Amino acid sequence: MTEPIVGLKEYLRNVGVDMDADFLRDGISLLTRMLMDMDVSQQIGAEWYERSDGRQTHRNGYRERMWETRVGEVPLRIPKLRRGSYFPRFLEPRRRAEQALLAVIQTAYVKGVSTRKVDDLLQALGLSGVDKSKVSRICKELDEGVTAFRERALKAEYPYLWLDALYLKVRQNHHIVNMAVVIAIGVRETGEREILGLEVGASEDGAFWTSFLRALVARGLKGVAMVVSDAHQGLQEAISTVLHGASWQRCRVHFMRNVLAHIPKGDKAIVAAAVRTIFAQPNQEAAREQLGEVLCALEPRWPKAAAVLAGGEMDVLTYMNFPAEHWCRIYSTNPLERLNREVKRRTNVVGIFPDVPSVIRLVGSVLMEVHDEWQVGRRYFSKASMLKLKEPIETAAMMLPTPLRLAPIR
């Protein structure tokens, strides 16, 4: 016969120890600090002030964070590392998303839209029946956290903003439709990344993008110098309407695909190599000269590809107006694509969502956990490089290289 599990406070009371919540919080704080110090020492291969050939990196201060426990919020000082990152195992960073996934599956069952996939998931989780009141309680708790996250005030300046959308299948009025899930991430003026917004809509038209950006501005979004995105319909107009003074960087990766879509398969490699010479230039003026050379080489055989390349000249080289240290991360939506892949990995388990609130519940929970990990990780850009955003980009005084002369590709 197994003994019943009791809470820590109840156990201490049963054995005659009368301790208040403050005492317990202090004890938990001390214990977690010792655990984190041991974890970090093992990860870097050395103790405090120890000289060791096996040392991988060094400690680099702390990040403050509050940890919610059954005895209240416990302040944590999570160690930072000069190289790499550390996240305490006992915080269970994926627990919220797993709970949200369970809530989505149960909601589908309660709503009577249980598919074979949902039935298999319920069986795998050991759930033979679902209590409707329990599902409502779990959903309410999750929704409160996700709503607070989505509606929180944005108090910093965000010079860089990435926007992208992915599509999920949702049941609406007894039909299955594709819904756009729009996510925004930004980098603060001090170099840290944040997930700024999440919204679900029926399409990506201009009205939807305008409404989404206005909601971000209403929450405090400011200081946006550049927006990075694909060429979504209506997005450029929404950016110029809502984010006054912000420039637009068209995703270079998607742009390359658009150009190569008009090139035969056997010639794609050589054309891609020619286009990459544009982006290998040290500044925007040299890149535009090189783009002209590439255009002259492409036009005789592939006028459609050349037209796409010419049409993107003003938008695909915008990133070169910003510090060179940032170029590799701001020329495309790759930072957001990686986040989208994590969202898709979690949502693919569901397949078809029972309703829109379920989408927001699960995707929002995943984004909250990624956001928390970002806050204890390394800065996306260094403080020193972010300060260069306030300096004018000097191009006139730079020695421009001679553009690569390309003969027409035959």
* 399 and 282 together in one domain: yes
Cα distances (Å, whole numbers) of residue 170 to 166, 342, 400: 13, 19, 53
Residues paired with residue 169 on neighbouring β-strands, in sequence order: 178, 352
Residues paired with residue 160 on neighbouring β-strands, in sequence order: 187, 226
pLDDT for the residue 131: 57
From 52, 70, 91, the end of a domain falls on: 91
* 285 and 404 together in one domain: yes
- Residue among 360, 374, 371, 372 nearest 100 (CA): 360
pLDDT for the residue 281: 94
Q: Exposed, middle or buried by CB within 10 Å (0-12, 13-18, 19+), for 136?
A: middle
**Euclidean distance between CA atoms 226 and 245, whole angstroms:** 9
pLDDT for the residue 14: 59
Cα distances (Å, whole numbers) of residue 76 to 29, 43, 67, 85, 332: 7, 19, 7, 16, 35
From 74, 91, 108, the end of a domain falls on: 91
Question: Does residue 245 lie in a domain region?
Answer: no
* 261 and 399 together in one domain: yes
From 91, 114, 130, the end of a domain falls on: 91
Contact 185, 193 (CB under 8 A): yes
pLDDT for the residue 123: 57
Q: How far is CA 94 from its chain centroid?
A: 15
* 140 and 38 together in one domain: no
pLDDT for the residue 261: 94
Question: Does residue 409 lie in a domain region?
Answer: yes
Which range marks the domain in which residue 266 is found? 252-326+395-410
Question: Does residue 238 lie in a domain region?
Answer: no
Question: Does residue 78 lie in a domain region?
Answer: yes
List per-residue pLDDT tens for the chain, 410 residues long: 444 445 555 555 555 545 555 767 777 788 888 888 888 888 888 888 888 888 888 888 888 877 766 566 788 888 888 887 787 877 755 455 556 656 666 555 445 444 555 555 555 555 555 556 666 666 777 788 889 999 999 999 999 999 999 999 998 888 899 999 999 999 999 999 999 999 999 877 889 999 999 999 999 999 999 999 998 778 888 999 999 989 999 999 999 999 999 999 999 999 999 999 999 999 999 999 999 999 999 999 999 999 999 999 889 999 999 999 999 999 999 989 889 988 888 788 777 888 898 889 889 988 988 898 888 778 899 999 999 998 755 443 333 344 444 545 55
User: What is 308-376 written as a DSSP string?
Assistant: HHHHTHHHHTGGGGS-GGGHHHHSSSHHHHHHHHHHHHHHTTT-EESSHHHHHHHHHHHHHHHHHHHHH
Query: For the stretch 358-375, what's the b/e string if a residue is b when 16 or more beta carbons lie within 10 angstroms of its beta carbon?
Result: bbbbbbbbbbbbbbbebe
Q: Exposed, middle or buried by CB within 10 Å (0-12, 13-18, 19+), for 255?
A: buried
* 21 and 56 together in one domain: yes
**Euclidean distance between CA atoms 376 and 227, whole angstroms:** 25
* 320 and 399 together in one domain: yes
pTM of the model as a whole: 0.70
**Euclidean distance between CA atoms 186 and 336, whole angstroms:** 10
Instruction: Enumerate the H helices of 162-251 as residue ranges.
Output: 206-218, 235-242
* 23 and 87 together in one domain: yes
Contact 66, 75 (CB under 8 A): yes
Sorted by sequence, the CB contacts under 8 Å of residue 315 that are 6+ apart come out as 231, 248, 249, 250, 255
pLDDT for the residue 92: 57
**Euclidean distance between CA atoms 92 and 363, whole angstroms:** 18
pLDDT for the residue 30: 81
Question: Does residue 276 lie in a domain region?
Answer: yes
Question: Does residue 287 lie in a domain region?
Answer: yes
- Residue among 409, 212, 393 nearest 305 (CA): 409
* 74 and 100 together in one domain: no
Question: Does residue 56 lie in a domain region?
Answer: yes
* 400 and 285 together in one domain: yes
In the numeric block, the tokens 């426990």 are attached to 69
* 308 and 409 together in one domain: yes
Number of C-beta neighbours around residue 70 at 10 A: 10
Q: Exposed, middle or buried by CB within 10 Å (0-12, 13-18, 19+), for 259?
A: buried
pLDDT for the residue 395: 41
Length in residues, the chain: 410
**Euclidean distance between CA atoms 196 and 149, whole angstroms:** 9
* 55 and 102 together in one domain: no
Question: Does residue 26 lie in a domain region?
Answer: yes
**SS3 per-residue string spanning 91-156:** HCCCHHHHHHHHHHHHHHHHCCCCCHHHHHHHHHCCCCCCCHHHHHHHHHHHHHHHHHHHHCCCCC
* 141 and 274 together in one domain: no
Domain count, the chain: 3
